[in-house]
Amino acid sequence: MTARGQDMILGLLFAGLGLAAAWQATGYRGASGTYPQVLGLSLAGLGLLLALKSLWRGARVPRPLVDHPGRVAVTVAIGAGYLALVPVLGFYAASALVAVVLPVALGFRRPLYTLLAAAGFMAVVWLVFTGLLAKPLPTGFWSGW
C-alpha cells in the first residue's frame, strides 16, 4: 500500500474513533463528560487533518506497514500485560511500571531519563485526574489496607 493510502485510512480511523468517543461521552453525567469529549473531538480533528493532508500531499510510493515488526509485537504484548495488571495493581502502579519497562524493552538505555520521564508522566496524570478533574483512577488491591 502507498503512503498516501495508509495515511488516508489511519486518518479516517482516528476521526471515526474520536467522534465515537466524543459521542459516547455525551452520556456522562455532569461535567465528567467534558474532558473525554474534548479528547475525542481533538482526535477526530487530527485524524481528519491527516486524511486531508494525505489527499493534498500524500506520497504515492509504496511504504511498509511496519518498519520493525519485532518492536510492534513487544509493544502489543506489554500493552496486553498492562491491561491485565490495571485491575490488580491499579492504574498508577501499572502505568508507572509500563512507563519504565516499555522503553527498556524497545532498546532505550538511559535509565535516569526513563525514570524521570515516567515519574513526570505519572505526576501529570495524577494532577489532571485527581487534582483538576476530581476523578480518581482505579487503585490496586491494596487500596483497602
pLDDT in tens, 100-145: 999 999 999 999 999 999 999 999 988 888 887 777 788 877 666 5
Question: pLDDT tens digit string along 13-31?
Answer: 999 999 999 999 998 877 7
Same domain for 130 and 100? yes
Residue 72 confidence (pLDDT)? 94
Residue 144 confidence (pLDDT)? 62
Positive or negative, the Cα torsion across 121, 118, 72, 138? negative
Residue 142 confidence (pLDDT)? 66
Question: First vs last Cα of the chain: how many Å apart?
Answer: 54
C-alpha–C-alpha distance, residues 123 and 6, integer Å: 35
Residue 64 lies in a domain: no
Residue 92 lies in a domain: yes
Same domain for 76 and 42? no
Number of domains in the chain: 2
Same domain for 53 and 87? no
Taking a C-beta distance cutoff of 8 angstroms, is the pair 106, 75 a contact?
Answer: yes
Same domain for 73 and 140? yes
Residue 63 lies in a domain: no
Domain limits for position 22? 3-57
